[in-house]
């Protein structure tokens, strides 16, 4: 068996990426290299170790028992090495390498993209990849450094940093309210055409707080459902019903009158903006710097990283 000094550390990094992403192409995407390079480095590592690390078929790549054992041992060590390097890295040094961020489409367009533009101007040697999607992406498989999410996190096992809070409003189009009538009390919401956002933990049950602190729980009924806040906003603008959306989505609609608030004297719970991180101990400098920058950006400061 080769001596440890004969093993290229980069080969171990590539090997770990293949295990964690589930394939050569996904690992190549995470590392920013060609898939052929990943294949070559894994094959070289297998040759040096004298053991197959992956079982390959035409459809999938799966780690062998030896591959799983090696990953269990080397992944924490690789993470520790990255942390050690980051710890001694000069804090004032310019950021380099890459930063992959994902966010919901509307938040990405209205908030994350402008923040990343400012962040990129501060760090001209940093490559930035923003992936906007309303679906919940696999952070490991897609090589995401930071996922910006809104609302309430369903998975308590996720590592997350709270960045701020946002307001939510009950809204409808003026046309819908002319046709269906304007709700006067929270209980009236049970009789409207409610449009449910299915990505929420309880899309049909809401707690409303009145100006005097009174709390009422309202159960709505939805004939129309969607998992996209952009689609929900479009339906509301077309007069399809009533629903709740966050301030990032509808500030412009409220200003131009396309949507109006329903029961404006009653408030619904504020939502949270979170930076969700991939599993593991390591958090790179690029991700740390962006999280700190974006927190200040949301707070309205002229942030710099």
Tell me: the pLDDT tens digits for 62-81?
899 999 999 888 887 777 77
Average pLDDT, the chain: 86
What pLDDT does residue 91 have?
54
pLDDT in tens, 102-124: 998 888 888 999 999 999 999 99
Give the phi and the psi of residue 24 in degrees, each rounded to 5. -70, -45
Instruction: Note the pLDDT of residue 301.
Output: 44
The residues with which 273 forms a beta bridge, in sequence order, are 150, 164
How long a stretch of residues is the chain? 305
Give me the mean pLDDT over the 259-282 stretch: 88
Could you report the per-residue pLDDT of 134-193, keeping only the tens digit for each? 777 777 777 788 999 887 665 555 678 889 888 999 999 999 999 999 999 999 999 999
Crossing angle of helices 9-21 and 24-31, in 10° steps, is 120
Give the pLDDT confidence score for residue 304 in this predicted structure.
35
Looking at 22-26, 50-54, 205-209, which range is the least confident one?
A: 22-26
Q: Which two tokens stand for residue 121?
A: 């101007």
Task: Give the pLDDT confidence score for residue 132 in this predicted structure.
Answer: 87
* Secondary structure of the chain as H, E, C letters: CCCHHHCCHHHHHHHHHHHHHCCHHHHHHHHCCCHHHHHHHHHHHHHHHCCCCEEECCCCEEECHHHHHHHHHHHHHHHHHHHHHHHHCCCCCCCCEEEEEEECHHHHHHHHHHHHHHHHHHCCCEEEEEEECCCCCCCCCCCCCEEEEEECCCCCCCEEEEEEEECEEEEECHHHHHHHCCCCCHHHHHHCCEEEECCCCCCCEEEEECCCCCEEEEECCEEEEECCHHHHHHHHHCCCCEEEEEHHHHHHHHHHCCCEECCCCCECCCEEEEEEECCCCCCCHHHHHHHHHHHHHHCCCCCCC
Give the Cβ contact number of residue 18 at 10 Å: 26
For range 237-246, the mean pLDDT: 96
What is the mean predicted confidence (pLDDT) over 47-61? 85
Domains of the chain, each with CATH number or no CATH: 4-88 (1.10.10.10), 97-166+272-298 (3.40.190.10), 168-269 (3.40.190.290)
Find all residues with CB under 8 Å of 206, minimum gap 6, and list them: 189, 217, 218, 220, 244, 268
Taking the C-alpha atoms of residue 235 and residue 134, their distance in angstroms, rounded to an integer, is 17
Average pLDDT on 10-39 reads 86
Q: What is the mean pLDDT of residues 202-215?
A: 94
Least confident of 23-27, 78-82, 268-272: 78-82
């Amino acid at each position: 068996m080769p001596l440890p000094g004969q093993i290229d550390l980069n080969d171990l990094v590539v090997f770990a990426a293949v295990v964690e992403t589930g394939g050569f192409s996904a690992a190549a995407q995470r590392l920013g290299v060609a898939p052929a390079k990943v294949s070559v480095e894994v094959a070289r590592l297998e040759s040096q170790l004298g053991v197959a690390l992956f079982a390959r078929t035409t459809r999938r790549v799966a780690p062998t028992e030896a591959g799983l054992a090696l990953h269990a041992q080397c992944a924490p060590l690789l993470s520790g090495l990255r942390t050690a390097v980051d710890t001694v890295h000069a804090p004032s040094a310019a950021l380099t390498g890459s930063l992959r961020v994902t966010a919901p489409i509307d938040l990405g367009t209205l908030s994350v993209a402008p923040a990343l533009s400012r962040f990129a101007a501060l760090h001209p040697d940093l490559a930035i990849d923003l992936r906007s999607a309303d679906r919940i992406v696999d952070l490991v498989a897609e090589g995401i450094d930071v996922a910006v999410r809104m609302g309430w996190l369903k998975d308590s096992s996720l590592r997350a940093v709270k960045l701020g809070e946002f307001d939510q409003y009950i809204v409808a189009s003026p046309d819908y309210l002319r046709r269906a009538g304007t709700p006067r009390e929270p209980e009236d919401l049970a009789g409207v055409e409610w449009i449910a956002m299915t990505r929420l933990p309880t899309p049909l049950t809401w707690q409303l707080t009145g100006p005097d602190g009174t709390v009422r729980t309202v159960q709505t009924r939805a004939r129309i459902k969607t998992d996209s806040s952009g689609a929900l906003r479009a339906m509301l603008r077309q007069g399809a019903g009533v629903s709740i959306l966050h301030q990032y989505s509808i500030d412009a609609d409220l200003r131009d009158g396309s949507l109006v608030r329903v029961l404006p004297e009653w408030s619904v719970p504020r939502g949270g903006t979170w930076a969700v991180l991939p599993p593991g101990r390591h958090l790179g400098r690029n991700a740390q710097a962006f999280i700190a920058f974006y927190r200040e950006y949301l707070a309205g400061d002229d942030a710099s990283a």
